[in-house]
Amino acid sequence: MRLSGVGKRYGSGRAILREVDLDLVPGGVLAVSGAIGSGKSTLLKIIAGVSRPSSGRVLDRPRQVGYVPERFPSDERLTARSYLTHMGRLRGMSTRAAAERGVALLDRLALAGGVDTHLRKLSKGNLQKVAVAQSLMVPPALLALDEPWSGLDRGAHGVLGQLIDEVAEAGGAVVFTDHRESVVALTADRVCHLRQGRVVVTGAGPAQWVAVTRVVLRPPALAGPALADPSLHEVLDVREEDGAVVARVDAERSDAFLLAALRRGWSVVRVEEVGR
């Protein structure tokens, strides 16, 4: 899929995007970074086909597109299960297959409150899990996610990373926005930086931007407080492996994270610099 000279302007207002050229390759994960108001969300909407460019062209957009908006509407009167079943049916799935797929995705993302909770009663983080699930009801050939980590708990951070990896491994093109360089570095293999609606840097390999420390921990014998505050300690993701907990942390913040984990009674098994 390719964007050629794409520009966007709402009415007679200022241009949100100007002359954007971008390639999305199957199996690639592209991060769109930039300050607030730089045009990230607008670019993602145009990539997903939600918004039309005012100028330029979008070529070869695949049919199966998954889209996670920046703000998922919370006033839906359906339950999470029923909503995902509807979204699956819109994709051409049978009712049963859609319901099973929806429940499996929400189980994986550990939706709190259960799949039969009404969407309007879900917290922001749990709504975000439903938003991610609806985009993956069928394996997308293009997955566009706008700030998908916002509001997610640390467990879901890791699962979302795995889901993105799975889409890319299956040959899907993934594009996401995030303002944190550490998340971009960990997840993307290419980065496009936007400034005032223009692409100023398109580069491969953001790995060198942020050094990542991999910390293997053993939980305390007695259930204690949570591991650490992901937003406070720049925890990129947390996964469970063979009874131990593996956290990937921004290397610059790893000392503070280790201190917080030790204070909460966790044991450190191994610490290693992994680059990304």
Q: Which of 82, 117, 150, 202 binds other proteins (CB under 8 A)?
A: 82
CB of 10 or CB of 265, closer to other proteins:
10
Question: How far is the CA of 214 from the CAs of 29, 165, 217, 256, in angstroms?
Answer: 21, 18, 10, 14
d(C-alpha 39, C-alpha 196), whole Å: 7
Rounded least distance, CB 85 to other proteins, Å: 10
Q: Where are the beta strands (DSSP E) in 27-172?
A: 29-34, 55-59, 65-68, 142-146
Enter the tokens of residue 239. Answer: 């996964």
Smallest gap from residue 65 Cβ to other proteins (A): 5
Based on CB atoms, which residue is closest to other proteins, 67 or 176? 67
Given a contact cutoff of 8 angstroms between Cβ atoms, the answer to whether 124 and 132 are in contact is no
Cβ 89 to other proteins shortest distance, Å: 4
In the list 2, 9, 86, 180, the residue contacting other proteins (rule: CB under 8 A) is 86
- Strands (E) located in the chain: 2-9, 15-23, 29-34, 55-59, 65-68, 142-146, 173-177, 190-195, 198-204, 212-218, 235-241, 244-250, 267-273
Query: Does 195 help bind other proteins (rule: CB under 8 A)?
Result: no
Give the residue with the Cβ less far from other proteins, 40 or 233: 40
HSE-CB of 109 using CA atoms within 13 angstroms? 32
Cβ-contact 52, 100 below 8 angstroms: no
**Near other proteins by CB under 8 A, which window of 19-27, 86-94, 172-180, 191-199?**
86-94
Q: Is 5 in the site for other proteins (CB under 8 A)?
A: no
Of 66, 102, 172, 206, the one binding other proteins by CB under 8 A: 66
* CB nearer other proteins, residue 53 or residue 206: 53
Residue 249 Cβ vs other proteins, minimum distance, rounded to whole Å: 33
Q: How far apart are CA 31 and CA 256, in angstroms?
A: 27
The tally of CA atoms less than 13 A away on the side-chain side of residue 93 is 21
Task: State in angstroms the smallest separation of the CB of 33 from other proteins.
Answer: 22
Site string for other proteins, 34-63 (x = CB under 8 A): -----------x--xxxxx----------x
Stretch that binds other proteins, among 21-29, 67-75, 156-164, 184-192 (CB under 8 A): 67-75
Q: Does 73 bind other proteins (CB under 8 A)?
A: yes
112 scored as a contact of other proteins (CB under 8 A): no
Phi, psi (rounded to 5 degrees) for 9? -145, 130
Q: 182 with 154: CB under 8 angstroms? A: no
Going across the sheet that includes 190-195, the strands are: 65-68, 142-146, 173-177, 29-34, 190-195, 198-204
Between residue 131 and residue 170, which ones bind other proteins under the rule CB under 8 A?
134, 137
Question: What are the residues binding other proteins (CB under 8 A)?
Answer: 10, 45, 48-52, 63, 65-67, 69, 71-73, 75-78, 82, 86-87, 89-92, 134, 137
